Structure 1
Amino acid sequence: MVIHMSQDNFPARKRRPSAGAFVSPGYSDQKLLTSLFLLSQEISSLEPLKFLLNNTSASFIRKARLISIVFQDLLISDHSILSPSAALCFEELFILLHRIKILLEDCSTSSSTWLLTQIHSISNSFHQLLAEFSTLLDIFPSKEMKLNDDVQELLDFIKNHCSQQPSDSDAEQLRARVLKMLENIKKEIVPDPRELSEIFKALDMNDSTSCSNEIENLEDEVQNQKDDKSKADVVALIGLVRYAKCVLYGASTPRKSRMRRQATGEVNIPADFRCPISLDLMRDPVVVSTGQTYDRASICQWIESGHDTCPKTGQALAHTQLTPNLALKNLISMWCRDQRIPFESTENFNGNKTALEAVKMTVSFLVNNLTASQTAESVNRVVHELRVLAKTDSDSRSCIAEAGALPLLVMLLGSENPSLQVNAVTTILNLSILEANKIRIMETDGVLNGVIEVLRSGATWEAKGNAAATIFSLTGVHAHRKKLGKKTRIVKALLDLARLGPTSPKRDAMMAILNLAADREAVGKLIEGGVVDIMGAELTEESLSEEAVAVLEVVMKRGGLLAVAAAYNGNLVKRLTTVLREGSDRAEESAAATLVIICRRGGSEMVAEVAAISGIERVVWEIMGNGTGRGRRKAATLLRILRRWAAGLVGEQLNNNQQHHSTTVDTNLTRIVLPA
């Protein structure tokens, strides 16, 4: 493995500041000296780097501490007016000290392993700064400042020490060992545990927590790199650290780090930031022809699988062009920055073989340990590691499934340990994101039944919600959707969760119901189970109204008069008009579309009920003026229906539609009730 090292590879994050950035016109000489004193004090208060470049960083900190004494003496002497040459020298010193401070702070917060691989570049940056510091001390205006003998002697002492280059030779040897280990991993050579231990102890990574911190720092580092090759190198280091963490310190449940919060769903990802297909945070949101937004990878996979409809609305796609949603992407990026969640995926760049082999080694170690583990606690730690790993990228999901983890996870779904059950079902959920794994889950004995049992009677709401999310993921495949929709216990369990669960599990259940409702046979079961009443009740919940009205739209479209009858009996129309008034743009769009379907299939009585709502036309007019493209079209259609009814012209066309759909529903119900 070759790590690219340029002069700018690490320090490029902080460009050399210009004098104008700190010293504005009219900036008094006294203030300049004060700023120099304070800045040198800030540097002197920093801690030397612990393991890498310790001597170099300590040397800079000592020099800053000493020169702060010089600046302090100048302040006491009250040099309120400086000559142009002296002022220029001090301005340059201020800029240089600021660059030194930035480099020291960057190194102290950086990943240790990445810092090690970039040691040449960073050392060169320190040496360059030292040379510039020495030059400025050579032209220091000592005579003009009339330094006393003690201060002049101190300044000369600093100058002499600038000629001595601090040595950090141990870092170079350690770097060579790490690069050799990465190269061996690329060749599928498993690292020697003893050498691995020596390297990680030298980097002061002596336990699982320190390794987890290092992985988080490396994930941050991915975002700082500008080219795919450098990003791939960082991802390879993540693979090495994750492998070492498991091998050296054993699988363990980490503290609630940002990775764990993201993996477990403890971070409340805003609904608009989740892809409707994967339910995962969108990294590259794109808009399809219907106006819905999906993550690019998910919708591309959907289209490539032969689908020509919008997954959320069921509408036919007019074309398959994808428009980047840059505004949403920027919002997600800012939110991730605030939450300290990596925004850019750590997928293996350019088929990075080192990273892939590191993942394979880690998975093999974990799966073998899962087989050998004796206590529930040790099993839970291993499964948690698999859960987090399955969250990271497609290669990890593929490796875990290929290593035979699914049959082992099945045996844990019925565990009496709530944490173990959650970890097991969530690992399966994370694995199901990969298309090939959907087939494995459906075909591996016991996996689907195990997930269904967790959905029905899981020990916690989190376990039930993640089981529902797994069903949702599986229903992304048309053949799986039909098979799952035939299972009454799945339909009932999803409806129970949507009725009784807390917000997050409810949303997972609703998304699974939305997919199932696209199948005519399944929608009949959903209606019989009370889906219309359940979704109608959720229309008043702002956090779930979009999902609820989307389900209702599909149910009305697929369910015919049976669905309309349920809507009539449940007083749904008034609730839908409330969404028209108060809902989000997407909710308004679906509500308008649902009302159009209800009016067309429900006949004059339904149209009369809609028309009787106070202020309905004004609300429809507002959507026609300010709604989404589809929302405006549906609102215009709804207004035409209402006006034709008011003019007494609804009659024949609506009644013909009603008769046609009645026949369709009767046929469908016969197919549902009679055995095949």
Structure 2
Amino acid sequence: MIQKSDDLNRRILRFPAVHPCESVSTGTLLRDLIALSRNICDYQSKIFATQRRNAREAIRQVGILLVFFEEIRDRNDSALPDFVSLCFSELHYSLQKLRFLLEDCTREGARLWILMKYERVSTEFRVLIRTIATALDVLPLCSIDVSIEVRELVELVANQAFKAKFEADPDEEQAAKGVLDILNQFENKVVPSRIDLRRVLDDLEIRSWSRCNKEIKFLDEEIDSESSKGEEREVVFLSSLMGFMCYCRVVMFNVVDCRSNHRSDVRCFGEVLSYLNPEDFRCPISLEFMADPVTTSTGHTYDRSSILKWLKAGNFTCPKTGEKLTTTELVPNSTLRKLIQQYCSDNGISLAEHGSRSRDITRTILAGSNAAAEAMKQLANYLAHTLVVGTGEEKNKAAYEIRLLAKSSIFNRSCFAEADTIPPLLMLISSTDPSIQENAIAALLNLSKYCKCKTEIVENGGLRLVLDVLSRGLKMDCRQIAAATLFYLSSVEEYRILIGEMPDAIPSLVNLIREGNPRGKKNAVVAIFGLLLYPGNHDMVIAAGTVPSMVDLLTSSEREDLVTDSLAVLARLAEQPDGTIVILGTSALPQLLRILNSSTSRVEKEYCVSLLLSLCSNGGAQVISILQNTPSLMASLYSLLTDGTSRASKKASSLITILHEFHNSSSTGLLAPEVPQERFVHVR
């Protein structure tokens, strides 16, 4: 009957306890109470950075109750009077909440947050223990067959529970005030003392970079959650705490101790992923990767947003089997969600593109609080100084910190731009140390998403340096990151022209498509697409042998996003006659027809029909004749009229018209006048 709480879904200090149903037997309740009590007693071995005294006292009292419950079971639980069930039910409900509370006090990354909520947490302990005491007070001990010693212990627990104060620890109160003092210093643009920072970290037993980073991740998730609910006051406070922890992580810890462990975790997940079919990650309703997979009563899994729409429409059957749902309750599938996230991460697939919950980065234009803003400005200056005067290891760590901090915050990027971190980072990407080069180019990638940083990179000669990494990077990861950096720089028209004028730029991207890992191929393809937004780069892209590489991806890549991006590049090239000629000189046409007929992606279908339309317009009657003699084509085109995007529908309609007119003209022995006869080419 006990349900294990899900750390990934339950909000901290939210206790979703449920009262046992009235029909449950006393024996079942007793067995559950024993299991709950044992679970709570197991927390004796956990680390309580805060609330140690309250947690220890609560666990001690539950330990006595465990002895009481086990003796009842051992003597004869079937002889319990029926009215005992009501007391046991209340105890069960309270012990559930206590377990949740202990879980939160030991939750990974929540130490600072629990410290700052010390008054509320102490009150929760006091209320829960007194609720347990009330249930024990009305429990008819004289009617229960237990030894006198155990009965006296239970009575003692009830009396102590009423008297116990469960107050906030004065040391924790002082530590919380210390944090608030440091936040005030940040607001007043005062650099806090390392001694004060160390005192807080020691109080929380945060003694490593990785432990500090877990606190930051937890606070970031809380900010995201509170922002979505419009809790601005809580967001301000959480942002201040996150600024404080970011400052501590950078300034107080010299060694990054978690990157190797992270890679190990990735390898373990990779072994699991190798046995799974990625198609199983798609929602049967939307056919997109599931962002929040949930399982229905029939045992089938869907994306939460899709199944909720199904239910709200009045459908109470399983979409996959048609079986009637016995309940509309949806059970989160956390394991599958982790696998999907890892798969997308390993393959360079944007989670946002596949509907997963993704933080709205526009919320990070501002820091969230004055304290967080000033903390980040101080950090940016500190890291900029370290990049210039630090040792090799210190510079590497500084680049890594910038890489992390600039990844998901527009405000952070602006601080690094103001602190003039671009020039020293550009110097570091020429390093002969693979780790330094990777961190430096990754930091520049994340900064290149910010307008002012783009300008700084180009004006400081960064284009040449980034291209050198793209061509001769010390690791494949460095090369693929350099390709992504070029993509962001190419968002500025002036820089598209500059990149295209560099003789080795486009050929280096094509080489990465041929030689790179899946993420490298992805970044190179989208960089080429960005460069094609300037028409002057069209001929150079074709001359570099891009088309055969794109067609190879259509046939060999198992990644949907790579196929989609390749189609986008080919569609852009096919708009011009010379692009059409090169495309028709490859095996592209059969592949386009295959994808159009078999793909479940509306975007891929749109690109395919766009390509076919351009090939017909620029390629002449020979291309149209081939399409005319493809039996399955018309069915696919007609389906796009109703099921495709609005643009795909219009293009499908135009292509149908061309094919019909060509058929009518051929039937009468005449060539359709709009077909340009002079553009016939050999089609393989």
TM-score range, shorter chain: 0.7 to 0.9
Q: Which amino acid aligns with 1:476?
A: S
- C-alpha distance in structure 1 between counterparts of 2:196 and 2:372, whole Å: 19
Aligned-pair CA distance for 1:223? 4.7
Q: Distance in 1 between matches of 2:474 and 2:450?
A: 26
- Is 1:211 aligned with 2:228? no
The equivalent residue for 2:256 is 252
Identity %: 26
- Matched to 2:43, the amino acid is L
User: Is the CA contact 2:134–2:158 (under 8 Å) kept in the aligned structure 1?
Assistant: no
Aligned residues of 1:574 and 1:613 also touching (Cα < 8 A): no
Where does residue 582 of structure 1 map in the other structure? 598
Counterparts of 2:525 and 2:72 in 1: how far apart (Å)? 71
TM-score by length of 1: 0.80
1:503 to 507, 510, 518: 518
Deviation at 1:11, TM superposition (A): 8.0
Within 2, Cα distance between the matches of 1:474 and 1:343? 24
CA contact (8 A) 1:486 1:521 kept: no
Residue 548 of structure 1 and its aligned partner are, at CA, apart by 0.7
Q: 1:459 maps to what in 2?
A: 474
Quote the Cα distance in structure 2 between the aligned partners of 1:159 and 1:338.
Answer: 49
**How far did 1:547 drift?**
0.8
Q: Residue 634 of structure 2 contacts residue 656 of structure 2 at CA under 8 Å; is this kept in 1?
A: yes
Runs (5+) with no aligned partner, structure 1: 1-9, 274-280, 284-329, 660-676
CA distance in 1, matches of 2:341, 2:589: 40
Kindly provide the amino acid, as one letter, of the partner of residue 505 in structure 1.
G
Structure 1 window deviating more from structure 2 (154-163 vs 214-223): it is: 214-223
Report the Cα distance in structure 2 between the residues aligned to 1:154 and 1:67, rounded to whole angstroms. 8
Q: Report the AA paired with residue 175 of structure 1.
A: A
Give the letter aligned to residue 420 of structure 1: I
Distance in structure 1 (CA, Å) of the matches to 2:88 and 2:604: 62
One-letter identity of the residue aligned with 1:389? L
Query: How far apart in 2 are the matches of 1:369 and 1:257?
Result: 26
Query: Equivalents in 2 of 1:221, 1:338: separation in Å?
Result: 22
- Larger displacement relative to structure 2 (112-121 or 70-79): 70-79
1:412 corresponds in structure 2 to 428
Q: Determine if the alignment matches structure 1 residue 164 to structure 2 residue 146.
A: no
Q: Which residue of 2 aligns with 1:663?
A: none
Q: How far, CA to CA, are the matches of 2:632 and 2:65 in structure 1?
A: 76
Contact 1:67–1:155 (8 Å) recurs in 2: yes
1:11/1:575 CA distance change after superposition, 3 Å: closer
Aligned to 1:134: 133
The match for 1:362 among 376, 379, 397 is: 379
| CA deviation string 1:131-162 (max 9, x = no partner) | 21222222121122254321221112212321
Secondary structure of 1:206's aligned partner = coil
Alpha-carbon distance in 2 for matches of 1:232, 1:257: 32
Which of 380, 401, 409 in structure 2 is aligned with 1:385? 401
Find the aligned partners of 1:259 and 1:221 in 2 and give their Cα distance: 25
Q: Which amino acid aligns with 2:551?
A: G
Query: Is the contact between residue 409 and residue 424 of structure 1 (CA under 8 Å) also seen in structure 2?
Result: yes
Separation in structure 2 between the aligned mates of residue 481 and residue 597 of structure 1, nearest angstrom: 25
1:104 to partner: Cα distance: 0.7
Q: Identify the match of residue 240 of structure 1 among 231, 238, 244.
A: 244
SS at match of 1:136: helix
* Partner residue, 1:32: 29
Equivalent residue number for residue 656 of structure 2: 639
Deviation at 1:115, TM superposition (A): 0.7
Q: Are the aligned partners of 1:49 and 1:57 in contact in 2 as well (CA < 8 Å)?
A: no
**Residue 614 (structure 1) shift:** 5.6
In the other structure, the counterpart of 1:653 is 674
Do the aligned residues in 1 keep the contact of 2:512 with 2:520 (CA within 8 Å)? yes
Aligned CA distance change for structure 1 residues 591 and 413 (closer, same or farther; 3 Å): same
Q: What secondary structure, in the 3-state scheme, does the structure 2 residue paired with 1:109 have?
A: coil
Counting only pairs closer than 5 Å after superposition, residues 95-110 of structure 1 correspond to structure 2 as: 95-109=93-107
Q: Is the 8 A contact 2:367 2:411 kept in 1?
A: no
CA contact (8 A) 2:125 2:166 kept: no
Counterpart CA distance in 1 for 2:497 and 2:676 is 31
Q: Distance in 2 between matches of 1:336 and 1:79?
A: 42
Whole-Å Cα distance in 2 between the matches of residues 468 and 261 of structure 1? 27
Alpha-carbon distance change, 333 to 156 in structure 1, aligned in 2, over 3 angstroms: closer
Contact 1:253–1:384 (CA under 8 A) maintained in structure 2? no
- Cα distance per residue 1:262-293 (max 9 Å; x no partner): 9xxx999x99x9xxxxxxx999xxxxxxxxxx
Q: RMSD value over aligned CA atoms?
A: 3.3
**C-alpha distance in 1 between matches for 2:333 and 2:425:** 37
Could you list the per-position Cα deviations for residues 509-546 of structure 1 after superposition, in whole angstroms to 9, with x for gaps in the alignment? 11011121122111121112222222122211241211
Equivalent AA in structure 2 for residue 150 of structure 1: E
CA pair 496-236 structure 1, distance change in 2 beyond 3 A? same
Aligned AA (1:549):
L
Which residue does 1:668 correspond to in 2? Answer: none
Shift, 1:488, TM fit: 2.9
Partners in 1 of 2:103 and 2:39 — Cα distance? 11
Measured against aligned partners, the alpha-carbon deviations of 1:426-482 in whole angstroms (never above 9, x if no partner) come to 111100112232222222x22121111111222222111111111111122233323
Which protein, 1 or 2, shows the higher relative CO under an 8 Å CA cutoff with sep ≥ 6? 1
Counterpart contact for 1:251–1:382, Cα < 8 Å: no
1:530 to 517, 523, 545: 545
Q: For 1:49 and 1:449, locate their aligned partners in 2 and report how far apart those are by CA, in whole Å.
A: 52
**Is the 1:468–1:505 contact (alpha carbons within 8 Å) kept by the matching residues of 2?**
yes
Measured in 2, the distance between the counterparts of 1:87 and 1:282 equals 43
Pair 1:345–1:365, CA change in 2 (3 A) = farther
**Letter in structure 2 aligned against 1:381:** K
Q: Partners of 2:32 and 2:148 in 1: how far apart?
A: 24
- 2: CA distance between counterparts of 1:606 and 1:458? 42
**Counterpart of 2:233?**
229
Contact 2:463 2:499 in 1 (8 A): no
For structure 2, the residue ranges without an aligned partner over 5 or more in a row are 1-9, 282-288, 292-331, 346-356
CA distance in 2, matches of 1:44, 1:615: 67
Alignment of 1:559-570 (within 5 A): 560-570=576-586
Alignment CA distance shift 1:54-1:253 (3 Å): closer
CA distance in 1, matches of 2:439, 2:415: 18
Query: For 1:70, which of 68, 85, 90 is the aligned residue?
Result: 68
Q: Name which of structure 1's ranges 586-595 and 38-47 shifts more when overlaid on structure 2.
A: 38-47
Alignment CA distance shift 1:656-1:358 (3 Å): farther
> Contact 1:465 / 1:504 at 8 angstroms: preserved in 2?
yes
1:553 aligns with 2:557: no
Letter paired with 2:132 = F
| Contact persistence 2:403–2:439 (CA under 8 A) | yes
**For the Cα contact (< 8 Å) 1:232–1:352, is it kept in 2?**
yes
Distance 1:419 1:561 in 2: 45
Deviation at 1:602, TM superposition (A): 1.7
Cα distance in 2 between the residues matched to 1:394 and 1:334? 31
Could you say if the C-alpha distance between residues 234 and 202 of structure 1 is closer, same or farther in structure 2, counting changes exceeding 3 Å? same
Residue 448 (structure 2) pairs with residue 432 (structure 1): yes
Match of 1:481 in 2: 496
Q: What is the Cα deviation at residue 172 of structure 1?
A: 0.6
* C-alpha displacement of 1:351: 4.1
Residue 118 of structure 1, CA deviation: 0.7
Residues 182/339 of structure 1: CA separation in 2 closer, same or farther (3 Å cut): farther
Describe the SS at the equivalent of 1:77: helix
Q: Deviations over 1:329-348 (max 9, x none)?
A: x9999947974999436855
The answer to whether the 8 A contact 1:239-1:358 is kept is yes
Distance 1:465 1:50 in 2: 43
Question: In the TM superposition, what whole-angstrom CA distance separates every residue of 1:542-587 from its partner, at most 9, and x where no partner exists?
Answer: 4121111110111112xx2211221222243222212222333221
Counterpart for residue 622 of structure 2:
605
- The residue aligned with 2:307 is none
**Structure 1: distance between partners of 2:486 and 2:113:** 40
Paired residues, number: 585
| In structure 1, distance between residues paired with 2:360 and 2:573 | 36
Residue identity in the other structure for 2:419 = A
- TM-superposed deviation, 1:87: 1.9
